[in-house]
Every structure is written in structure tokens, then in C-alpha cells.
Amino acid sequence: MLISLKVQNLALIKESEVFFSDGLNIITGETGTGKSLIIGSVSLALGARAAKDIVRTGEKEARIELVFSLDNKNQEEVLKSLEIPFEEDDIVILKRTIRDGRSIASINSQTVTASTLKAVSEMLLDMHGQHEHQSLLYKRNHMRILDSFAARELESGLALIKKDYDRLLEIRRELEEGPVDERDRTRQVDLLKFEIDEIEKAHLKEGEDDELEEAYGRFKNAERLTTAVNSALNLISSDRGDSAISLVGNGTAALSDIEGIDEETDRLFAQLGEIESLLGDFSKDANNYLQSIDFSREEFEAVETRLDLINRMKAKYGDTFEDIENSAEEKKAELERLSDVEAVRERLLDEKDELESALREKCAEVSSIRKEKAERLSALMMDALQDLNFNDVNFRIDVRSDEEKISETGYDEVEFMISMNKGEPLKSLENVASGGELSRIMLALKTVLAHEDEIHTLIFDEIDTGISGRTAQSVAEKLNLLSLNHQVICITHLPQIAAMADHHFVIEKHSDEESTQTVVKELNEEEMIGELSRLLSGETITDAVRENAAEMRDLAKRKKVNIT
């Protein structure tokens, strides 16, 4: 749910914050006050392109902030998959700062890319303006709408079709490339054989490179190691009388003459004896080490040569032995393909035939589901359209199949067909519907799809284009019905729709000698009656108009209770 919208220094808005609630949120205002700025600021926060002059005159930057509360677990999972942190209270804050024609977007204080912002915004909010209504005119969108209605039944089938279709494209591409020039093929075969042979003759063993590096380091420093250990050994255990072992031995002998006389000297004698023993152990270990490190020029050169070979193989075929092995397997597969072009081509053709046959079966299953769901959605749309004062409407979703036109979505073509009057044939939407009719058709569609749609917040702009009277009342009631399970935000100029508001906001423009700014204000019940009066009559508001507005509001509230 959209909790709040905060805007700073955007066009005519210096600073404004609007707190929305669940249910039907209505926004009204006189022409030119900037109603479109509210929807525009939401669009900007969600990543829409910003005009160069969007920042308020005299200011350096504009800021928009949207605060949402998460509505379901699926939204949490999407945020986790995008590695976006969110608080335990399930609050998501989208911010966008626009300055010098550039912008920075963040979600919960983490800077995000445009694609991430788009993914999150599409999950949180569904916005409908004139552009979205017009999207109904394009057949390519009709299948997407039908498939969203049948999403649970179609999900697995469409995934299998896409997997097989992607593989089919790969096979077709390989077949289209065709056989290479014979001279080029011979050169490639010779090179592949050489490289495979080179890898196999290397007889690489896992961990061998680490062992060789350690041995190489030991050989390279053998002289320094030998000199240092020899020096220490000579000082400790040489034949000279001044070596450490000799001197400690003399000390031990001197103390042995007084052993048993005094406990303290006995302790000193024992300590010196331990030192003499440790020095003896050191002398033995040092001699063993010197024998083990015995430098061999031949062995050193062998280690160096082997390391050079391994490093050369890594430079050519991969950073690790596993990479090199994988490279060899790929080269063998390519060698097989080039060595027996016809056999490979036959295998590809066989696989292509099998895939096409399997795809037709899967497409048939998906098509059957689509046709069944198209009938159901058509019936629901008929009811919804009649509720919106399309009294003589006939609506049908055509699903036409063509086995020769398989794609990643199957082999169907989906088109919405409509007739506005009795006796008239069904025609494509683009040939029949006006802008106002399209907005109502979209509203009917959103109402029907509401139970399938996990997006809780819906924004409608220009939903009342070209309507009045009874039709306006029908639209108002449909919006109210939709708001029972969704948060609906709607900009309108019709009193019938505004009267249904659970929460009513008015956009006003104020000017002084220096500047003009747009402000947003939530109305109380008495102020709502006043705004309804303005919508009914314009500037001149008489007592009769106000009574009419109050009656309209009262009727709307009773209608809301009945619908609930």
C-alpha cells in the first residue's frame, strides 16, 4: 500500500506531503492547479524520464519520496532476490533526486539501477493513465492480459514451451550456418587436434601446480636456507670448545660435582640438563633438514620446466585445471562436429523434428487452456462492461491458432473483439472504441482481474474521460467496488466519482507577488461537500447546489454501505 508521497521543489510544488489510506482516495482540483503533477511525481519516483525544467525555478534539485508498506510475502521475496534491505515493519521507501538533468534513485537508502527500480515499482503499484488505456488497442497486449488471468494454469506449460523454443532457435541457427569452407574446416580440425593433444599430453593432476610452486620456492631459496641453518648449527654444535653444546656440557659437568647438596642447585642442574638435551635435538633436526634440502640442479630445472608448461596451458585454456579440462571437452565436441558434418547435421535435423513435434503438443495444451479461460474472461468482462453502462455491448476474446507460427508463447494469436450496439458485428477494439470507452474498458478489466492481481495499489488518471451522467455513476460504483480489496487513488473532475471517496484530497494553486505554488490538502466531511458543490456548478455555489452536493454525498455513502 502507498502510505505517503512527499515532493520537494518539483515544478510548482515547493514542498508537499500527502498521506494516503486504504480504500478509495480521490484527488480533485480546478483545471491548471497541477493535478497531473501528483501522478507525474509518482511516475518520476518510479523511474519516468524527467523533463529538463522539472526542478522548481530558483532551486537546485527536486526530490520525490514514496513510502510503501508491503502487502504480501511475494513482495518480500522479490526484494530479497534483488538484495534490497527492508525493515521488520515491512516499510519500503523509494526516493529519487533530480539535479542538472540527472537523477539518483534509492530504495531503503540503497542506490539502485533503473532496472531494479522498475522491477520493484511494478510489484508495488499499478498506474493507469491515457497511455495505459491506449495500450488496449494493441493486439500484442491482449495475450499478456489473458495469460495473466490464466497465470496459474499456464505457468508450467509456458515455461516448457520457452525452454524448447530457445533450443529450437539454437538448432536452426546452427543449421543455417551450414558447412564451413573445406580449407577452413581442415585448418580448424588440425588446430583442434593439436590443442586437444597438447592438453592430454600435459597429464595435468589436480593440486600439482600448488605442490610445484612450493617446491620451486624451496629450490630457489635453497642456498639462503642452507647458509642460515649451517651458521646456526656451527655455533651450537661445532668441534670447537666454544660451541653452545660444548659450553653447556661444561656447565652441566661443573654442576654435577655438587649434585645432592642443595635443592636449589639441583634444580639449576636439571634446567641446564634440559637445555643440553634441547640443543642436542636441535643439532640432530638441523642436520636432517640440511640433508633433505640438498640442492639438485637437475631436479630444480625439472620443476621449473613443468611449471612453465602448466602456466602456458593456463594462459591458453583456462585459469584452473577444471577450466582446461572443460576446454578440452568443448574442443572435442567441436572436432566431432567438424569431422563429420553430415552426421552432425542429421542429428540436428532429427532433434529439430522432435522438438517441433513436442512443441506443437505443448502449444496445443496451452492453447486449450487459453480458449477455456478466454470464454471465462469474456463472460466476466460482459458483466463488468454492462455495469459500466455498456448496455448493448458484446465482448469476446478470440484465440486463433496457427501451427506454422510457433513462438516462445505458443502458436496462438489473441485479440479483444467488441460490438457497442445490437446487430453490429464484433470488431477489433482499435476500430471501435473511443478514448472514453477505452478508459471504462480498462476499468472493467482491472475490476475483473483484481482477484488475480497481487498488486494492492492502483492509480487511475483520466478514467472519467468523455463520460457523464449515469455512466459516471457506474464508473464511480465500479471504482468503489475495486477499492474494497485494493487501495485506489483516482484523479477526477466528476462529482459522481468524488462523492464515493473514502479520503478526498484537493489540489490548489496559490500565488503571491514573488511565486506560485501548488499545495495538496485532505478534506474533512464539510470541506468535501464544498468541493462537490464546486464540481457541480463551478464558481457560483448556491444553497441549492450545496444541498444537492450533500445529498449526492449521502447517497454515495449509503451506496458504499450496500456494496460492502
Residue 219 located in a structural domain? yes
Residue 355 located in a structural domain? no
* Cα dihedral 211/214/218/221 (nearest 10): 150
**Who contacts 46 (Cβ-Cβ below 8 Å, separation ≥6)?**
66, 94, 117, 118, 121, 125, 127
Residue 72 located in a structural domain? no
- For residue 125, how many other CB atoms are within 10 A of its CB? 22
Range(s) of the domain holding residue 261: 208-329
Least confident span in 121-135, 168-182, 269-283, 359-373: 121-135
Measured distance CA(304)–CA(307) in Å, rounded: 5
Measured distance CA(130)–CA(132) in Å, rounded: 6
**Who contacts 420 (Cβ-Cβ below 8 Å, separation ≥6)?**
390, 392, 393, 432, 433, 437
Residues of 152-190 as b/e, b for ≥16 C-beta within 10 angstroms? Answer: eebeebbeebeebbeebeebeeeeeeeeeeeeeeeebee
| Position 78 confidence tier, pLDDT thresholds 50, 70, 90 | confident
**Mean pLDDT calculated for residue range 294-308:** 79
Model confidence over 308-348: pLDDT tens digits? 888 888 898 888 888 888 998 998 888 887 777 767 778 88
Model confidence over 28-72: pLDDT tens digits? 988 766 667 777 888 888 877 877 788 888 888 889 999 888 877
Model confidence over 408-442: pLDDT tens digits? 999 999 999 999 888 889 988 877 766 667 778 88
Measured distance CA(376)–CA(394) in Å, rounded: 14
Residue 243 located in a structural domain? yes
**Who contacts 218 (Cβ-Cβ below 8 Å, separation ≥6)?**
225, 293
* Domain total in the chain: 1
pLDDT, position 345: 77
Residue 31 located in a structural domain? no
pLDDT, position 295: 64
The secondary structure element, H or E, covering residue 417 is strand 412-419
Residue 257 located in a structural domain? yes
Measured distance CA(296)–CA(304) in Å, rounded: 12
| C-alpha pair distances (Å), 193 with each of 200, 328, 344, 403 | 11, 10, 18, 44
Q: Backbone dihedral region of 411: left (phi > 0), alpha (psi from -120 to 50 degrees) or beta? A: alpha
Query: Which residue reads 523434428 in cell numbers?
Result: 353
Q: Whole-prediction pTM value?
A: 0.63
- For residue 334, how many other CB atoms are within 10 A of its CB? 14
Residue 245 located in a structural domain? yes
Residue 282 located in a structural domain? yes
